[in-house]
Amino acid sequence: MNAKEFRRRARASLTGEYGYALLTVVIFSALSSIASGFSSAASIRDVVSQITRLGSGFDFRLIQANFHPGATAFSLVALLLVCPLSVGLANYFVHLADRNNPNLGQLFQPYRYFVNALVLELLIGIFVFLWSLLFVIPGIIAALRYSMAPYILAEHPEMKPSEALNLSKKMMRDNCGRLFCLGLSFFGWYLLCILTAGIGFLFLAPYLNAAEAQFFNEVSGKNIQKAQETAAAANGFAGTQPPAYAPEGHAPYQPESANQGFANQQPQAPQTYTPYTPITPEQPVQTAPYVPEQPAETPAAPQEAPYAPVQPEAPEVPDVPDAPETDETRPES
């Protein structure tokens, strides 16, 4: 699934719910700004007052004398109190992506598991800060790797923060680039918001968070699970399978409305299934062992006589002519 499809699904989930989503983002931003304002005012208030007094010179001892531990502690507590709201914001938008009755109260549900939500946000902030010390790019990669942890904790409040971080890193393996490209796909909206002096970011935030929630459903395997459930329901089978991201020892994800049906709907009788009986294989037919055929005998080739050299013929002796008759040899008459 590409960035265009994530944005399309985000727009579909915001149809008829944009007003409530915008109200949730406004409350989250307001509470975060108030806490940040307290923290910033307590830390730089005296510094600014001394810098403005350039005529009398800058004296650090005056800052130390005007330091108020109570105000600093109050600002720190206020900042810590709003940390779980990040998990609450993820909780709201993941319910919106699932079309599971999103409501404003889901923003404050992480206060039921306040310690886990607080520790998770602190760990994310510490790890991203430490990676940012190396360079900007490692910090961006770390932020992308831990970005799914609030969604995981929102659906599994009993999970330890360290488990949520490890599971987020596992989900984002080979997916950091996809989430980064999803953010870049809103570049035109960013420019338009800058032209509105930053006010447009408030109206763009629901769209961004809804797209990120759709991305979470994709990398966590919930979209595959929904497709399997839809196919099983069409075939008349009940029951769900645990999603791919459910770790061992934790209950699989179940939407809050899973047990809420129509009030007047009659419960269906459970389907009965005939137990599977394995088929006993038939006895194999006894056959004679295989005997390979003997190759046909080929007639023996005629044996040739051993080679004997031809003896040369004796030369013919020429006939010797008879000696002529003489008186001595001539017989007497």
State pLDDT tens for residues 221-248.
876 666 666 666 666 554 444 444 555 5
Least confident of 107-116, 183-192, 317-326: 317-326
The DSSP letter of residue 52 is T
pLDDT band at 38; cut points 50, 70, 90: low
Identify the pLDDT of residue 80. Answer: 80
Q: What is the mean pLDDT of residues 275-290?
A: 62
**Section 284-307 average pLDDT:** 64
Percent of the chain with pLDDT over 90: 38
pLDDT band at 309 (very low <50, low <70, confident <90, very high): low
Is residue 51 predicted with pLDDT exceeding 80? no
For 76-122, the pLDDT digits (tens) are 776 788 888 999 999 999 999 988 888 999 999 999 999 999 999 99
Residue-range domain boundaries for the chain? 3-227
pLDDT, position 260: 42
At a CB cut-off of 8 Å and minimum separation 6, what does 177 contact? Answer: none
Look at residue 25 and tell me whether its pLDDT is greater than 70: yes
Query: b/e map of 132-150 (b: 16 or more CB within 10 Å)?
Result: eeeeeeebebbbbbbbbbb
- The pLDDT value given to residue 230: 63
Question: According to the model, what pLDDT value does residue 56 have?
Answer: 43
Gap between the Cα atoms of 208 and 213, Å rounded: 9
Q: And the tokens for 286?
A: 């006894």
Q: DSSP character for 308?
A: -
* Long-range contacts of the stretch 112-119 (C-beta < 8 A, 24+): 112/157, 113/153, 113/157, 113/158, 114/84, 116/153, 116/157, 116/159, 116/160, 116/161, 117/83, 117/84, 117/86, 117/87, 117/88, 117/153, 118/80, 118/83, 118/84, 119/161
CB atoms within 10 A of CB 50: 17
For the chain, what is the total number of helices (H) and then of strands (E)?
A: 13, 0
DSSP 269: P
Distance in angstroms (rounded) separating the CA atoms of residues 50 and 61? 10
Closest alpha carbon to 218 in 98, 66, 48, 133: 98
- The three-class DSSP label of residue 230 is helix
pLDDT reading at 324 higher than 80 = no
Whether residue 141 is predicted with pLDDT greater than 70 in this model: the reply is yes
Q: Is the pLDDT of residue 262 over 60?
A: no
- Candidates 24, 2, 17; CA nearest to 205 is 24
Classify residue 310 by burial, with Cβ atoms within 10 Å: 0-12, 13-18, 19+.
exposed
The confidence score (pLDDT) of residue 124 equals: 93
Average pLDDT over residues 36-62: 45
Token pair in block for residue 326: 């003489």
At residue 257, φ and ψ (nearest 5 deg) are: -90, 15
Confidence of residue 298 (pLDDT cuts 50, 70, 90): low
- Could you say which DSSP state residue 106 is in? G
Q: Which of 189-193, 216-220, 293-297 has the lowest mean pLDDT?
A: 293-297
Alpha-carbon 186 to chain mean position: 22
- pLDDT, residue 50, reads 40
pLDDT band at 10 (very low <50, low <70, confident <90, very high): very high
Per the confidence metrics, is the pTM higher than 0.75? no
The answer, yes or no, to whether residue 63 has pLDDT greater than 50, is no
Q: Are 240 and 252 in contact (CB under 8 A)?
A: yes
Note whether 73 and 57 are within 8 A (CB): no
